Amino acid sequence: MSGSLHQLLFTAPGSTTKLTTSDTPQALPAGLLNDNNRPVKRVWITVEDNDIRIGFNITVSTTLGHLFFPGDIITLDSNTQANDFKVLSAVAGVHGIIQFTGEY
């Protein structure tokens, strides 16, 4: 699933932020979900280091969730997806790094 972000055509991009995953599921930061009273419309996420798992409306674990690898790009296409998103290190103790940018 590796690819480029050449299709990034933001209406109004927010800041790019880095997040280190952990052994506990994490949501996207509140500041990304609603920037200056603008709800996020789309989120671009790149997996930078180590494998991660993501899920929606579940408790993500090392055995449950979609597996992504460094170089993969994830696109969340709605505010609902962004709000329901959870991320976790795919292997306990081996934390991944994701970078994400919201479109408003």
Q: Which tens digits make up the pLDDT trace of 60-92? A: 999 999 999 999 999 999 999 999 999 999 999
Other C-beta atoms within 10 Å of 85: how many?
22
pLDDT at residue 1 tops 50: no
pTM of the model: 0.85
Domains and CATH numbers, the chain: 13-103 (2.60.120.10)
pLDDT at residue 54 tops 50: yes
